[in-house]
Structure 1
Amino acid sequence: MSEETPRPVAPGDPGAQAEQVAGERAPTRGDAPRESRTGELVRDLLSGSWLVSLLAIVLALLAGAVLIAVADSDVQEAAQYFLARPGDTFSAIWNAVYAAYEALFRGAIYDFEATSLTRAVRPITESLVFATPLILAGLGLAVGFRAGLLNIGGQGQIILGGIFGAFIGFTFQLPVVLHVVVAVLGAALGGALWAGIAGVLKARTGANEVIVTIMLNNIGLYLVAYLLTTPAFRIPGSPNPISPQISTETAAYPLLLEPPFRLHAGFFLAIAATVVVWWLLDRSTLGFEIRAAGANPHAARTAGISVERVVVLTMIVSGALCGLAGSAQVLGTEHVLTGGVAASYGFDAITVALLGRSRPVGTFLAGLLFGALRAGGVLMQSETSIDIILVVQSIIVLLIAAPPLVRAIFRLPSPGARPRRRASVRTAKEVTA
């Protein structure tokens, strides 16, 4: 093929001049796709939800640093003569913040001031111990969130899982492997039954799952308090509301390391649960129905999906995972049933699921983070108030719930946004101007 001969441009022809300018400035066919792919990759990285979550954590730590500095007595004293010697104030701020977060690191990851290797590496194992029930309960709530169900009953479901698991653990005498397996399945069954109540009421009567699960939390709390006064759950002759110890030889999770380490095989269960939940949500038919019902229940019904069935099954799966979190308490660390078996794991799991964007891997990583905050907060109390950790967690929740705020602070593009393209071709009017 012969190349097209360029048309001569007349001095008084503005349209032809514009056409010539456009031809001179038009990008080549090979360059345009490369620029487009690079730009799309950068925009995807900057607008991704993982980056928003990471920046939310950074902002929360910065806010915590401000509170640490304001509450520190040395900073307050140095601030009184700030105009005379401002360097003293900044030095005091740095020392206060550094000491607090250094203590958090030493309590959560590695204690480089410890006198032995065992004490030095024990913090990371404690973080994993605290993370185990958070991951399991967070996965359970994340499954509900993906189906559009606000399961706020993790606390009660953990309690019921603890009741079932502990009862099997100290009542029955079974072989080694069989006993722990039955106790774990019993804990999952307890949580599933408790969440299933809310699921059935939601599917059959349209009852609000938020209200039902919150009420079930209170019922579970008073139920365990009552059971610990009965002969079946109380140590004979003991005035303390505490159950007999489970059979640590057969019913307890095996320890992964020798004492004084407390890390047990329940952490492997949390890893396995993460894989199973990922497969369930992203690879199974039920997972597709869960996501479809959560995205648009009316469209799911039109497609032939029984939304009521999905609601019940989702709540059962969610409760079973929360029940496994209860097993991590009674079969892994405590080995007894008490009124505080759930601690605050049920409510913290909501934060974990939100930070993980209700995705299995994200929830797992968020559970590790909050487990580290729990473990490190113990040593951090020597430098500042433990309430700082609670403030950091609360700010993370606030920022995760408002992604546009994080994007506005860091000037990140919104998902799906496209930048304005510069005009590569000048109009005829601009040429003739």
Structure 2
Amino acid sequence: MSGQTPDGERPLDGLPPEQLPSVGGPLTGKGNEPEPSAADFEPAPRQNVFLKELLRSNWVTTVLAIVAAMIVGGIMMAVTNEDVQTAAGYFFQRPGDTFAAIWSAVYGGYEALFRGSIFNPRGADFTAQIRPLTNTLGFAAPLIAAGLGVGLAFRVGLFNIGGRGQILIACAVAGLLTFNLDLPMFLQLPITLIAGIAGGALWGGIVGLLKARTGAHEVILTIMLNYIAFYLVTWMVRTPGLLQRPAGDQPISAPTPANAQFPELFGPSFPLLDWGFIIVIAATVFVWWLVERSSLGFRLRAVGENPHAARAAGISVQRMYIYAMLFAGGLAGLAGMNQIQGSVTSGFDGYIDAGIGFDAITVALLGRSRAWGVFAAGILFGALKAGSFTMQASQGIPVDIVLVVQSLIVLFIAAPPLIRTIFFLPKTDAEKAAKARAKAAKKAVMS
């Protein structure tokens, strides 16, 4: 009989009930049972869902991107350290020496970074110990201001890389219009500040106007205007009667009048921190309110999300482009005023931007183009800049290592899937859907 062995036994005889296959069919009454659905299973514990969403969040990815960049930076410190290279020559005889040298190089580098940017426990008094923190805030102020301008443009769908030109024109306008006024401080200082912000806004507004009227790409416009601003300011500081210092033949402007300089916030013991930082905090609050809470900010964000839908909803896309670049240029102008009214008061030339216009792009990317995110990113980059000098002076580590760390932060920020892969973070729903589509497409091609 079928289903029996030659000995007459059935193959399933003797098996315990839990190992027997389930019985179904029309005669058993089990064949028409519905398939189990998601509702038949218990939902995942709430803490698991919270942890999963937390690990998917942008700020966790940002923090881990910084950690990954620091790790790579530490590897570079170790590789370029002379003691590590020497110990590696006899690694197999005494491997402990190599590991000790690596630890000393990496720990010494980041300890010097902390000591030069946050707190110096070796300082003679409390003032000397906290001076590094004030230096960090001073370096961060122009980065935050320019980063706010770049981030605001990003939110409207514009890639503003013209921060350098906007800073240069802001300084030139302030120098031309206000350096010779000789007014009391309560007038000279705000007039100089307003003139610089207006100059930056004017230069940024040119980009917005051309973008709105002709459709020209803002990247090309800002690149070209950067060159125009640089050569224009360079010509001005070489021309007597314009920006060149009176009774001098050097290509540099006159010093910033004392009445136009930002007063020191906590006195002469902290020379790099002045009232410009307070103005930058006010600018951060203003940008947050403008973008997140105002009706104009809603229209700006709508254009950034989908200009076609915004136009269909009755929003003037061209006008929003002009507004966005006016605000972006004005904020870059504020960064320029932090330079000539705070950090560099002895005169300026075509290099007064000191790379801030391009570093602002990095700050805006790290801050996810959000006002307070940009504020935090600016402080981080200010700390890296302030600490790099101590790293070089006390440990002999090139400042270029810090620049590499900054670049790596941007690289990792721009590639969230890479960070999730490195640190084994859960994938987002969008990444899972993209992977499923790729697998389905590959299967279709194979079949």
SS of match in other structure, 1:171 = coil
Q: Specify the alignment match of 2:140 in structure 1.
A: 131
Once structures 1 and 2 are overlaid, which stretch shifts more, 406-415 or 89-98?
A: 406-415
Corresponding residue for 1:298? 308
Query: Residues 163 and 337 of structure 1 are in contact (CA less than 8 Å); yes or no, is this contact kept in structure 2?
Result: no
1:410 is the counterpart of 2:423: yes
Separation (CA, whole Å) in 2 of partners of 1:342 and 1:12: 80
Write the deviation string for residues 287-345 of structure 1: whole angstroms up to 9, x where unpaired: 11111111111111111111111111101100000000000000112123233210000
What do residues 336-361 of structure 1 show as CA deviations (whole Å, max 9, x unaligned)? 32332100000100000000000111
* Distance in 1, Cα, partners of 2:428 & 2:276: 37
The residue aligned with 1:399 is 412
Aligned residue in 1 for 2:292? 282
Residue aligning to 1:363: 374
Task: Give the corresponding residue for 2:444.
Answer: none
1:71 to 80, 84, 90: 80
2:214 to 202, 205, 224: 205
DSSP 3-state at the match of 2:255: coil
Distance in 1, Cα, partners of 2:174 & 2:29: 83
- Note the C-alpha offset of 1:197: 1.0
Code of the residue aligned with 1:351 in structure 2: it is T
Separation in 2 of the partners of 1:57 and 1:185? 36
Partner of 1:150: 159
Query: Which of 63, 71, 95 in structure 1 is aligned with 2:104?
Result: 95
Report the equivalent of 2:236.
227
SS at match of 2:179: helix
Q: Does structure 2 conserve the Cα–Cα contact (< 8 Å) formed by 1:165 and 1:330? A: no
TM-score, normalisation: structure 2: 0.85
Shift of 1:58: 0.4
| TM norm structure 1 | 0.88
Q: Does 1:308 align with 2:318?
A: yes
| Counterpart mapping for 1:17-416 below 5 A | 32=43, 35=44, 37-230=46-239, 231-248=241-258, 250-262=259-271, 263-335=273-345, 336-382=347-393, 383=395, 384-416=397-429
AA paired with 2:238? T
> Cα offset for 1:124?
0.7
Point out which structure has higher relative CO (alpha carbons under 8 A, 6+ apart): 1
Which structure has the larger Rg?
2
RMSD: 2.4
- Alignment CA distance shift 1:314-1:182 (3 Å): same
**Using the alignment, how far apart are the partners of 1:110 and 1:12 within structure 2?**
74
Structure 2 counterpart SS, 1:299: helix
Q: Provide the secondary structure at the position in 2 that maps to 1:90.
A: helix
Give CA-to-partner distance per residue, 1:199-227, whole Å, 9 cap, x none: 11111111111011011111111111111
Q: Which residue of 2 aligns with 1:6?
A: none
Alignment gaps of 5+ in structure 2: 1-21, 433-447
Give the Å deviation of 1:174: 2.3
Matched residues in 2 for 1:237 and 1:394: separation?
Answer: 43
**Secondary structure, counterpart of 2:260 in structure 1:** coil
Unaligned runs of at least 5 residues, structure 1: 1-10, 420-433
Structure 2 CA distance for aligned equivalents of residues 414 and 183 of structure 1? 50
Paired letter, 1:167: L
Cα contact 2:172–2:243 (8 A) shared by 1: no
Q: Deviations over 1:391-415 (max 9, x none)?
A: 0011111111111111111122233
Per-residue CA deviations over 1:142-196 (Å, capped at 9, x if unaligned) read 0000011000001111111122233344211223222211111111111111111
Give the whole-Å Cα distance in 1 for the aligned partners of 2:41 and 2:365: 44
Deviation of 1:17 (Å): 12
CA distance in structure 1 between the aligned counterparts of 2:53 and 2:408, rounded to whole angstroms: 25
The 1:260–1:226 alpha-carbon spacing in structure 2 relative to 1, beyond 3 Å, is farther
CA distance, structure 1, for counterparts of residue 52 and residue 284 of structure 2: 29
Look up the equivalent residue of 1:200 and give its one-letter code. L
Moved more, 238-247 or 315-324: 238-247
Report the secondary structure of 1:381's partner residue.
helix
Q: Describe the shift of the 1:15–1:134 C-alpha distance in structure 2 as closer, same or farther (beyond 3 A).
A: farther
Cα contact 2:168–2:352 (8 A) shared by 1: yes
Q: In 1, Cα distance between the equivalents of 2:52 and 2:319?
A: 39
CA shift at 1:27, angstroms?
Answer: 6.5
Task: Give the aligned residue type for 2:326.
Answer: I
Retained in 2: the 8 A contact 1:166–1:330?
A: no
Alpha-carbon separation, structure 2, partners of 1:357 and 1:405: 17
In the TM superposition, residue 245 of structure 1 has moved relative to its aligned partner by 1.9
**More divergent stretch after superposition (194-203 vs 112-121):** 112-121
**Residue identity (%):** 50
Residue 266 of structure 1, CA deviation: 0.8
